[in-house]
Amino acid sequence: MDQLVKPHGSDTLNPPFIADEAKRAELLKEAEGLPKLLVCSQAAANAVMMGCGYFNPLQGYMNLADSLSVAENMKTTSGLFWPVPIVNVTADVSGIKDAKRIALLDPNVAGNPVIAIQDVESIDEATDEQMNSMAEQVYGTTDMEHPGVKNFMGVGKFFVAGPIQVLNYSYFEKEFPETFRTAMQIRETIEKNGWKKVVAFQTRNPMHRAHEALVKIAMERVEADGAVIHMLLGKLKKGDIPADVRDAAIRKMVELYFEPNTAEITGYGFDMLYAGPREAVLHAVFRQNMGASHLIVGRDHAGVGDYYGPFDAQEIFEKDVPAGALELQIFAADHTAYSKVVREVIMMREAPEGHKKEDFVFLSGTKVRAMLSAGEDLPPEFARPEVAKILMDYYQSLPKE
């Protein structure tokens, strides 16, 4: 492989972010006189992802026809391969009814500043039946207990479509200056490092020894030059560890346990969809856009609860992603854990014959939280002690229930 993988859908990244400061100032001035729409958190995150080049080649929000087509066939009406609708959905369009251009306000920043300006090409109202059908196809369920379905179904039924001009990256740049990176910046870093084959690792949690080993196993098997550990910095669910704590824990692990110049720690601004297989494909699209040649897809990738089978997110790439739709390949992984028999972290399916469940050091997230909250050390086979200390300090700082 002589060069990095090409972005999805075009030869170069073409994000709708307005990089020129004077032009940005001009647009903000224009926004003062435009009809305003306070968008939902997901629509704001979609704007950030488009502005960052992660959602290349999209230039704006999909209309209802494209959303239905993407939900049903994983492609837009014009034939672009895409796994989930990228939309601006709202419950109330009374303030923007006949507007041709509108200012989109950020719900996640105090004072709701303008995050983007949108040219309104169409406003379509979806029927209940269409909303249910899209939820079923994208999330595999219409259960409102599913956090992604609740977010999708709970914000309204008006699809406000059209191209956008992104004016800032919401709160991500200010709150995570060390970690938040655009797809363009990550491509530049990869090129500067001289890497050609690059493994991407998705995480919304701190990395334990199993994750560390998984990244190293994947790098070795695909003969990668480096890994991009790419963490989600957006909205999570209650009880998840805050991004700054995760960030510190992952940095410590890479600093102490990875060879120099083999891993980059970065983050992206998005809200978790918990859409399992479909979200895994979205993860693959935007990792290709940032220059990765491989994405690690493990058990229950991007899942929640018991909505998806353990390997559904791997199988979708074999069954439903058309050949040639993506240049990026996936590295299909199993659960990894420390084996007391071979005395190292291995993928469970590769355990020597005769391995039993109790031969692995395996702790649930609930157990880990309980131990750290009680001030108990995690087993060194499960977590690096320096990483565990950062997590323990965090849990010890929480008010006791």
Whole-number Å distance between alpha carbons of 353 and 55: 44
Whole-number Å distance between alpha carbons of 270 and 248: 19
Query: Is 205 an active-site residue?
Result: yes
User: What is 121-156 written as a DSSP string?
Assistant: -EEEEPPHHHHHHHHHHHHS---TTSHHHHHHHSS-
The phi and psi torsions of 370 (rounded to 5 degrees) equal -65, -45
| Helix/strand/coil percentages in the chain, nearest 5 | 35, 20, 45
Question: What integer best gives the mean pLDDT of the chain?
Answer: 95
**Taking the CA atoms of the chain, what radius of gyration do you get in angstroms?**
21
Whole-number Å distance between alpha carbons of 227 and 207: 14
Residue 208 has pLDDT above 80, yes or no: yes
| pLDDT attached to residue 158 | 98
Summarised one tens digit per residue, pLDDT across range 103-146 is: 999 999 999 999 999 999 999 999 999 999 999 999 999 999 99
| pLDDT attached to residue 230 | 97
| pLDDT attached to residue 299 | 87
| pLDDT attached to residue 13 | 98
| pLDDT attached to residue 240 | 75
Which pTM does this prediction carry?
Answer: 0.94
DSSP 8-state assignment for residue 69: H
Whole-number Å distance between alpha carbons of 108 and 171: 7
Q: Please identify which of the residues 204, 209, 287, 299 carries the catalytic annotation.
A: 204
In angstroms, how far apart are the furthest CA atoms of the chain?
Answer: 71
Whole-number Å distance between alpha carbons of 291 and 8: 10
Query: Is 221 an active-site residue?
Result: no
Length of the chain: 401
Average pLDDT score over residue span 344-355: 92
User: What is 258-294 written as a DSSP string?
Assistant: S-TTSEEEEEE-------THHHHHHHHHHHHHTT-SE
Cβ 130 vs Cβ 66: under 8 Å = no
- Helices in 172-235 by DSSP H: which ranges? 172-175, 183-193, 209-222
Task: Report the Cα 252 to chain-centroid distance in Å.
Answer: 22
Summarised one tens digit per residue, pLDDT across range 29-48 is: 999 999 999 999 999 999 99
Q: Please identify which of the residues 205, 246, 278, 343 carries the catalytic annotation.
A: 205
Tokens representing 174 are 């200010």
| Residue 234: band (very low, low, confident or very high) from pLDDT cuts 50, 70, 90 | confident
Secondary structure of 333-347 in the HEC alphabet? CCCEEEECCCCEEEE
Task: Report the Cα 50 to chain-centroid distance in Å.
Answer: 13
* Domains of the chain, earliest start first: 21-170 (3.10.400.10), 178-268+274-397 (3.40.50.620)
* Cis, bond preceding 147 (omega within 30 deg of 0): no
Query: What does DSSP say about strands 226-232 and 158-166: parallel, antiparallel, or unpaired?
Result: unpaired
